[in-house]
Amino acid sequence: MRVLIIDDDNEYRRVLRYHLEVEWPDLTIQEYQPSSAGSLPQAFPLADLDLVLLGYPLEQEPRLAMLRSLCGRTGCPPVIVFAAEGDEFLAVEAMKLGAADYFPKSRLTHQRLISSARALIRASRPDAKDSGASRSVGPVLTGLRRHTFIAELHSGDLSSVYLAQEEGTGRRRVFKILKHMPDSGSSDLFDRFLLEYEVIAKVDHPNVVKIFDLGIADDHAFIAMEYLAGGSLAERLRCGMSLAEALDYARQIARALAAIHEAGILHRDLKPANVMLRGDDTIALIDFGLAKQMKLEAAITGTGRIFGTPYYMSPEQGHAEPVDERSDIYSLGCIFYEMLTGRRPFLADSPMAVIYQHSHAARPVLVDGHQELQPILDGMIAIDPTDRFQSALQLLEQFDVISATGERLRRRHSR
């Protein structure tokens, strides 16, 4: 299959590419940036494509000129339109001109995009092959023969993460597989890898990733987890976020922290990339793996090297001091600030400089109509843990207190 993505936004093109390649690893994708390359040439072979994703600032063009031009060409495949704002009048006009589907950019989810793309391709080209489940890209483990590994989602020093599909049922799972084997001198790592996930598997909460299975296949430890089709909060942040969404996501993350803290678990690596979205826009915390925890326990080495990202580390964590649940609350505060403003609270030229700012810089100030949320932000990212909310439950109580204020703010921002 072949798809053309037209958009001036490099990041949004990358997000669309990610969604498509996770589903169809063999897909051929072409990208086009009209602001630098001009209008799509008339000679461009549209008939060779299966789908066009059009997000170039369509709403700024008079009479949707580019969409009108594409749909008027012979052999044009289905066109899915993406607009910066959810304008129902724009959607109606786009559909009248021939668009096959329409999405506001900020509301895109993996499940909706893939469902739409698959239906449109099948309808326009019945002979097109959906190769998403036909190609194994992961390890061949005899103990997991019922699953086909169709995409590698991440590879680190100690483990790799794969998207897999169960033969027969078509159900999708995510497998995290430890690279080191017990007989290679890493038996302690092996045992703790399994123990960590045995604990997480017992946490039954809608905002914590579901663990379906854990065990050993061909001397490799593995964990089978739910597939979260909506992508990560990090990707979602690149598209901008409304106040209502920021408050909703922050509350969901706080609920997840309350659940794992009650089970005696600290996340220790809470950041947007470790917050995933389902197709229904609910979130789930992921990545409680030992690999991250071990690196964070020794965050500062003799050379001053930092492992992992420092942007969401609490002051005590950044200085390799003992941490408790208030450290996770600090990390959530950094995420909350980024959701509200689109910026990280502390930036510098080096990881060590960022860590220094967490401990010494003035706390960031909310503006642009978010001032009413300053007290709750201050209670999350105070330098001294004793000045923060002392538990995720206490933080949730404060979210309840400001719910009326949040509703008033949402009405203001919707005008």
Asked if 354 and 347 touch (Cβ cutoff 8 Å), the reply is: yes
Residue 301 has pLDDT above 80, yes or no: no
* DSSP state for residue 312 in the 8-state scheme: T
Closest CA to 271 of 259, 286, 281: 286
Q: Which of 121-125, 179-183, 398-402 has the largest mean confidence? A: 398-402
What is the value of pTM for the model shown?
Answer: 0.64
Q: Phi first, then psi: what are they for 375, rounded to 5°?
A: -60, -40
Assigned token pair, 319: 């200085």
Assigned token pair, 320: 């390799």
Residue 20 has pLDDT above 60, yes or no: yes
Beta pairing partners, 271: none
- The class that CATH gives domain 2-130 is alpha beta
2-6 and 28-32 beta bridge pairing = parallel
User: pLDDT > 70: what percent of the chain?
Assistant: 79
Delimit the domains of the chain by residue range. 2-130, 136-226, 233-413
Strands (E), 34-129: 51-54, 79-83, 101-104
Q: Which residues, 6 or more positions from 294, have their beta carbon under 8 angstroms from its beta carbon? A: 189
Residue 411 has pLDDT above 70, yes or no: no
pLDDT, position 406: 55
Render pLDDT for 113-157 as a digit per residue (tens, 0 to 9).
888 888 888 777 655 554 444 445 556 565 666 777 877 777 766
Q: Phi first, then psi: what are they for 75, rounded to 5°?
A: 80, 10
172-178 and 159-166 beta bridge pairing = antiparallel
More confident residue, 328 or 94: 328
The catalytic residues are: 269
Roughly what angle, to the nearest 10 degrees, separates helices 290-297 and 187-201?
Answer: 110
CATH of 136-226, one of 3.30.1050.10, 3.30.200.20, 1.10.1040.50, 3.40.50.2000: 3.30.200.20
Fold adopted by 233-413: Transferase(Phosphotransferase); domain 1 (1.10.510)
Roughly what angle, to the nearest 10 degrees, separates helices 10-23 and 110-124?
Answer: 70
Q: Phi first, then psi: what are they for 215, rounded to 5°?
A: 175, -150
pLDDT, position 96: 84
Task: Choose the weakest-confidence range: 90-94, 170-174, 369-373.
Answer: 90-94
* DSSP state for residue 364 in the 8-state scheme: P
In whole angstroms, what is the distance from residue 127 CA to residue 351 CA?
52
Residue 306 has pLDDT above 70, yes or no: no
118: left (phi over 0), alpha (psi -120 to 50) or beta: alpha
In whole angstroms, what is the distance from residue 117 CA to residue 323 CA?
46
In whole angstroms, what is the distance from residue 339 CA to residue 333 CA?
10
Q: How far is CA 89 from CA 83, 108, 116, 341, 382, in A?
A: 12, 18, 20, 29, 45
Residue 378 has pLDDT above 90, yes or no: yes
Average pLDDT score over residue span 22-26: 76
220-226 and 211-217 beta bridge pairing = antiparallel
Task: Choose the weakest-confidence range: 290-294, 378-382, 397-401.
Answer: 290-294
Q: Do domains 2-130 and 233-413 have the same CATH topology?
A: no
Assigned token pair, 120: 């449109």
pLDDT, position 304: 39
Residue 326 has pLDDT above 70, yes or no: yes
